[in-house]
């Protein structure tokens, strides 16, 4: 190729790539009475933003409302924003769940049967503390420890650790406990608490910045929302909460017409992930395995029998959470084993 032509071609390709990046607009959605879904999903909810496929959304998710902070003995940490949020959302527009979600975001071009690709770009706790608590009747040891307990956990952002106690520090690994599309219109308004085929309250500690969540779209526009910020969590979330925080995050939302599946999936830089949900943990494990076999069969052209055997030899099952009524298992398999991909 003529050198001048080669340079011109390279320059043209660079311009095309730059133009593609510049086309991805960023939409900032702050917490306020008009931008939250307090404990529910509802496909009839008016979107707080309308974006194009491939655009970036920055969401700021609150820790709690002022009444909840008072009830848990943390009145000294209540901010004017918490009071404004509490005052601006009537009780009739709260529940039946508890998490305060930001959204929904309408994505142009999304239709039922598509998949919404949610690239988690950045995540940052907004305050210098987090909160863990357990309450009567909730958590894995609700019979053993029946009284409520609340603990404030300082965040040392400079060292990226949460200081649980003198000499005990946990790494800060932020993630949104809840990311979802709206369920079908026919379901009306439903609780945000249990995860399901529209994703939702996954409480999956592996969905940190740099990972991608794939959610089957149920309604026109997808209607994506997120909330329930965490600075970190153990697999299981056994006392009912993680290190709960106000969280700022950026997502790139892209409509995938080329993908078609029934349950949420994800990938990290190093792993492929499938998920299973059920009140019965064994059934959740079966679903996660079934989804992994289906994924491997399609992506790597394996027979179901071979995919099942590979899952047994190469995939790990993680207990996502056991406290949301509907329990979660996620299966992860390393990308490194696929040496020709």
Pairing of strands 168-171, 161-165: antiparallel
Across the range 82-98, mean pLDDT stands at 94
Average pLDDT over residues 69-90: 94
Q: Which residue has tokens 């032509």?
A: 5
325: left (phi over 0), alpha (psi -120 to 50) or beta: left
Q: Does residue 226 contact residue 102 with C-beta atoms inside 8 Å?
A: yes
Query: Do the Cβ atoms of 180 and 204 come closer than 8 Å?
Result: no
* pLDDT of amino acid 318: 98
Report pLDDT for 70.
94
Q: Are 82 and 204 in contact (CB under 8 A)?
A: no
Non-local (6+) Cβ contacts of 87 within 8 A are 33
Q: How confident is the model at residue 1 (pLDDT cuts 50, 70, 90)?
A: low
Q: How far is CA 121 from CA 24, 153, 211, in A?
A: 13, 25, 8
Phi, psi (deg, nearest 5) at residue 79: -105, 160
User: Looking at the predicted structure, is the pLDDT value of residue 4 above 60?
Assistant: no
Q: Where are the alpha helices (H) located in 63-103, listed in sequence order?
A: 66-71, 80-88
Rounded to a whole number, what is the largest CA-CA distance in the chain? 78
The mean pLDDT value of the chain amounts to: 93
In this predicted structure, the answer to whether residue 162 has a pLDDT above a threshold of 50 is: yes
Q: How confident is the model at residue 17 (pLDDT cuts 50, 70, 90)?
A: very low
**pTM for the structure as a whole:** 0.92
Domain 270-341 annotated CATH 3.90.550.10 = no
In the chain, domain spans: 22-127+171-261, 270-341
pLDDT exceeds cutoff 90 at 14: no
Looking at residue 341, its pLDDT comes to: 60
CATH architecture of 22-127+171-261: Sandwich (2.60)
Per-residue pLDDT of 221-265, as tens digits, reads 999 999 999 999 999 999 999 999 999 999 999 999 999 999 999
* Pairing mode, strands 129-134 and 265-267: unpaired
Phi, psi (5° rounding) for residue 165? -165, 165
- For residue 206, give the nearest of 141, 269, 253 by alpha carbon: 269
With cut-offs at 50, 70 and 90, classify the pLDDT of residue 22. Answer: low
Contact partners, residue 127, CB within 8 Å, separation at least 6: 63, 155, 245, 246
Predicted pLDDT at 340: 77
Q: Bridge-partner residues for 122, per DSSP?
A: 250
Classify residue 244 by its DSSP letter. B
The predicted-structure confidence for 102-150, as pLDDT tens digits, reads as follows 999 999 999 999 999 999 999 999 999 999 999 988 899 989 998 899 9
Residues 228-253 as b or e (16 or more Cβ within 10 Å = b)? bbbbbbebbbbbbbbbbbbbbbbbbb
Mean pLDDT of 198-205: 98
Q: How many residues does the chain have?
A: 341
What is d(CA 306, CA 312) in angstroms, rounded to the nearest whole number?
10
Which pLDDT value is given to residue 10?
A: 42
């Amino acid at each position: 190729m003529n050198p001048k032509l080669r340079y011109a071609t390279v320059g043209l390709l660079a311009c095309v790539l730059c133009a593609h990046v510049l086309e991805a607009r960023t939409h900032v959605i702050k917490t306020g009475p008009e931008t939250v879904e307090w404990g529910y999903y509802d496909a009839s909810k008016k979107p707080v933003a309308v974006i194009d496929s491939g655009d970036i959304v920055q969401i700021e998710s609150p820790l709690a409302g002022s009444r909840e902070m008072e009830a848990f003995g943390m009145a000294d940490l209540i901010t004017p924003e918490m009071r404004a949020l509490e005052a601006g959302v009537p009780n009739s527009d709260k529940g039946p769940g508890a998490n305060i979600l930001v959204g929904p975001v309408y994505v142009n071009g999304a239709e039922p049967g598509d998949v919404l690709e949610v690239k988690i770009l950045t995540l940052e706790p907004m305050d210098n503390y987090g909160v863990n608590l357990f309450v009567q009747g909730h958590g894995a040891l609700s019979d053993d420890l029946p009284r409520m307990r609340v603990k404030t956990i300082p965040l040392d952002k400079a060292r990226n650790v949460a200081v649980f106690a003198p000499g005990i520090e946990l790494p800060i690994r932020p993630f949104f406990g809840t990311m979802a599309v709206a369920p079908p219109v026919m379901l009306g308004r439903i609780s945000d608490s249990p995860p399901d085929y529209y994703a939702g309250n996954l409480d999956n500690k592996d969905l940190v910045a740099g990972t991608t969540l794939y959610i089957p779209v149920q309604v026109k526009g997808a209607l994506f929302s997120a909330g329930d910020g965490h600075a970190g969590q153990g697999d299981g979330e056994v006392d009912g909460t993680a290190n709960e925080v106000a969280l700022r995050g950026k997502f790139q939302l892209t409509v995938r017409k080329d993908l078609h599946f029934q349950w949420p999936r994800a990938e990290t830089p190093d792993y492929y992930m499938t998920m299973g949900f059920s009140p019965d943990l064994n059934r959740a494990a079966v679903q996660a395995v079934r989804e992994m076999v289906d994924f491997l069969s399609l992506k790597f052209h394996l027979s179901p029998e071979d995919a099942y055997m590979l899952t047994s030899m190469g995939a790990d099952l993680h207990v996502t959470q056991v406290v949301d009524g509907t329990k979660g298992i996620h299966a992860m398999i390393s990308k490194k084993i696929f040496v020709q991909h």
